[in-house]
């Protein structure tokens, strides 16, 4: 699934310029830093910008990842006047948000504020009930937990961010940059968003979604199927029909397909595509091979087939992947 299409509407500006970022005990330092970088740095070159405030959820000083301690000048009462509220991660997907925080967020949304969550911060928004019946995303590691805990939330696990108007959620960690730049683009237009991205030395817009960062399932080890999976990995450049795989595993084709699905969660064909894509990514990142040669080494046969699977699974082309993830040109 691809990211939401770019909107053609004109920049409307924020509902008001005050952005409040939550600070809590167990603060996710990286996500918090993104909120500061995107919304809290002075921008004297711009005629209008956000007013950034920190709002303490807990009594300070609060611990942050990396051994730091954080103090905030404001408390939850500041959320009553903020136009935009950022939840920069949360201290744990199993840690219930305090009721005063949920009430403050609910009241802020009711009077027109926008709520943004980064990574695990979506669990705070979900706990308010505001995401019920709406789309949302989070880090791919937490997507299943979010869907199980909040079944009324439509979880999209393979996008970088979701924009539901005044409820916006991002995937893991660095995807907070993508969501923040998206909101800046909404408020102030593409030229301002591009200038912010240049200052942060990040792409103004990234192609693809979280699928490009998720590792394929690990094979079962210690039995005939585990040995077969290792053999398949070593021979990605060769055809691997089910009949051949069943013969090597000393199983019937039907038994092989059942055992394979139980062990990996997918069919042999799907597993091979993921492994071949993984190998192709390694070659694109670390070698100067041309597309035809990469396709042959990985078992795709042709560059056209390689491009097809890249676009289908990763939502970007092999050439774009090489450009984005390496310094090769």
pLDDT in tens, 246-303: 999 999 999 999 988 887 778 999 889 988 988 898 888 778 899 999 999 999 999 9
Residue with tokens 């990211």: 3
Give 7's pLDDT tier (boundaries 50, 70, 90): very low
Name the more confident of 324 and 213.
324
Counting beta carbons within 10 angstroms of the beta carbon of residue 271, is it exposed (0 to 12), middle (13 to 18) or buried (19 or more)? buried
What distance lies between CA 266 and its chain's CA centroid? 22
Span(s) in the chain for CATH 3.40.50.880? 18-212
Tell me the CATH number for domain 224-325: 1.10.10.60
Q: Is the pLDDT of residue 8 over 80?
A: no
pLDDT tens-digit map of 115-157: 999 999 999 999 999 999 999 999 989 999 999 999 999 998 8
DSSP string of 33-75, one letter each residue: HHHIIIIIS--TTSSS--EEEEEESSSSSEEETTTEEE--SB-
Domain 18-212 classified CATH 3.40.50.880?
yes
At residue 23, the pLDDT reads 96
The pLDDT of residue 274 is 87
Contact 318, 310 (CB under 8 A): yes
Instruction: Flag whether pLDDT at 216 surpasses 70.
Output: no
pLDDT per position as a tens digit, 156-181? 888 889 999 999 999 988 899 999 99
90: which 2 tokens?
A: 């949360």
Residues of the chain above pLDDT 90, percent: 58
**Domain(s) of CATH 1.10.10.60: residues in the chain:** 224-325
Give the pair of three-digit tokens for residue 153. Answer: 């939330």
Instruction: Please provide the average confidence, as pLDDT, over all residues in the chain.
Output: 87
Count Cα atoms within 13 angstroms, Cβ side, for 312.
10
Instruction: Give the pLDDT confidence score for residue 327 in this predicted structure.
Output: 42
What backbone phi and psi angles, to 5 degrees, belong to 175?
-65, -15
The two structure tokens encoding residue 127: 């706990």
């Amino acid at each position: 699934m691809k990211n939401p299409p770019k909107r053609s509407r004109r920049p409307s500006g924020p509902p008001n310029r005050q952005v409040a970022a939550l600070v809590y005990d167990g603060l996710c330092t990286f996500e918090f830093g993104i909120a500061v970088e995107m919304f809290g740095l002075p921008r004297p070159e711009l005629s209008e910008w956000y007013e950034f405030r920190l709002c303490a959820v807990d009594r300070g000083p609060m611990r942050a990842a990396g051994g730091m301690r954080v103090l905030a000048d404001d408390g939850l009462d500041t959320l009553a006047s903020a136009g935009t509220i950022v939840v920069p991660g949360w201290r744990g997907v199993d840690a219930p948000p305090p009721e005063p925080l949920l009430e403050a967020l609910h009241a802020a949304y009711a009077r027109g504020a926008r709520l943004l969550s980064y990574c695990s911060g979506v669990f705070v928004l979900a706990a308010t009930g505001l995401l019920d019946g709406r789309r949302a995303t989070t880090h791919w590691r937490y997507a299943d937990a979010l869907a199980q805990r909040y079944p009324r939330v439509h979880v999209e696990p393979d996008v970088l961010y979701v924009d539901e108007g005044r409820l916006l959620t991002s995937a893991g960690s660095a995807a907070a940059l993508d969501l923040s730049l998206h909101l800046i683009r909404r408020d102030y237009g593409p030229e301002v968003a591009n200038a912010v991205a240049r200052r942060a030395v990040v792409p103004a817009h990234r192609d693809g979604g979280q699928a490009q960062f998720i590792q394929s399932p690990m094979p079962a080890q210690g039995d005939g199927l585990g040995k077969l999976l290792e053999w398949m990995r070593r021979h990605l450049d060769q055809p691997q029909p089910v009949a051949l795989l069943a013969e090597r595993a000393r199983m019937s084709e039907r038994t092989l397909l059942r055992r394979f699905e139980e062990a990996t969660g997918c069919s042999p064909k799907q597993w091979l595509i993921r492994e071949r894509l993984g190998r192709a990514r390694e070659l694109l990142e670390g070698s100067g091979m041309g597309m035809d040669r990469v396709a042959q080494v990985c078992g795709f046969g042709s560059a056209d087939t390689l491009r097809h699977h890249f676009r289908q699974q990763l939502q970007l082309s092999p050439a774009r992947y090489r450009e984005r993830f390496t310094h090769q040109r």
